[in-house]
Amino acid sequence: MPELPEVESLRRILARSATGRTIVSAAVREKRLRRALDDDVADAIAGRAILAIGRRAKYLLIELDRELVLLVHLGMSGSLTHRRAGFDPGPFDPRHDHVEFALDDGARLVYNDPRRFGLIKLIKKSELENAAELRGLGPEPLGGGFSSEYFWRATRGRKAAVKTLLMDQRIVAGVGNIYASEILFRAGVRPTRRAGRVTRAEAERIAAYTPAVLSEAIGGGGTTFRSYRDARGQPGRFAERLQVYDREGQPCIKCGAAIRGIVVGQRSSFYCPHCQK
């Protein structure tokens, strides 16, 4: 997964394929995800109509009738696939297909998550804003709330690496490890730079490249690094357009210098020592 572009790609596919459908039944095979699924989730979902599919940060929001919302997070290794009736159901994975929804058109939505860092939670629509998972999230990077002025202010006085802050969901919602490296490369800022030392011009570039990179990735259907698959079971195509991520030792596309791989805030990070200051 599953950073913002992957979840947004998933949202768009499900919006077309599942909106208006009714969930006739739900089966929970494994409820031990990041948090254990509530015991009554399957019963509460059965019979509910899917009104819309939304997204906040990396959370997918499946809006149901009766003012219910199913919150889905894919963690590190989760996927939610839509399998049409009568078509190849894809490789059935009994060990990791943890939750399955049957729709009234014969299709199925299958939640698969090997590492089980994901989350599925049913909440009332009125409690959405106050939900612990969504409360405190920063602005959506594609929603206009993530301005250069905002980011510049948010970084003042902060000693943590700028990449760490860019990935902090309270600062901006949806940027994860892959795109943080890509955004900082395009902005010409090293991931290790202390956030408080980012100049105003650099903050402007970061704030501008953040939505640009995410939008481009959405256009490519997201990034498949190892195992990510979209709702149709297809890998994302943005991996071919990654300029630094997982390219340690390979030449920078701008200057030819060898891309470096380092660890920042315990996450693998990549940058060009020549282009990024």
Quote the least distance from Cβ 104 to DNA, whole Å: 31
Q: Which long-range contacts (CB under 8 A, 24 or more apart) does 245-250 make?
A: 245/178, 245/181, 245/182, 245/270, 246/270
267 catalytic, yes or no? yes
Quote the least distance from Cβ 84 to DNA, whole Å: 24
Of the pair 54, 75, the CB lying nearest DNA is at 75
Write down the catalytic residue from 21, 58, 83, 190.
Answer: 58
Contact (Cβ atoms closer than 8 angstroms) between residue 63 and residue 51: yes
Choose among 266, 264, 267: nearest CA to 189.
264
Write down the catalytic residue from 84, 158, 194, 267.
Answer: 267
Query: Distance between CA atoms of 84 and 87, rounded to whole angstroms?
Result: 6
Structure token pair of residue 189: 């800022």
Of the pair 170, 277, the CB lying nearest DNA is at 170
Contact (Cβ atoms closer than 8 angstroms) between residue 121 and residue 133: yes
Choose among 215, 218, 213, 209: nearest CA to 148.
209
100 catalytic, yes or no? no
Of the pair 32, 200, the CB lying nearest DNA is at 32
Residue 78 identity (one-letter amino acid): G
235 catalytic, yes or no? no
Residues at the contact surface with DNA, assessed by CB under 7 A: 1-3, 32, 34, 57-58, 73, 75-77, 95-96, 114-117, 132-133, 158-161, 164-165, 167, 169, 176-178, 195, 223-228, 263, 265-268
91 catalytic, yes or no? no
Quote the least distance from Cβ 107 to DNA, whole Å: 24
Quote the least distance from Cβ 98 to DNA, whole Å: 11
Contact (Cβ atoms closer than 8 angstroms) between residue 203 and residue 151: yes
Of the pair 159, 200, the CB lying nearest DNA is at 159
Quote the least distance from Cβ 225 to DNA, whole Å: 4
Query: Distance between CA atoms of 248 and 16, rounded to whole angstroms?
Result: 38
CB atoms within 10 A of CB 202: 21
Of the pair 255, 263, the CB lying nearest DNA is at 263
Residue 261 identity (one-letter amino acid): G
Active-site amino acid positions: 2-3, 58, 267
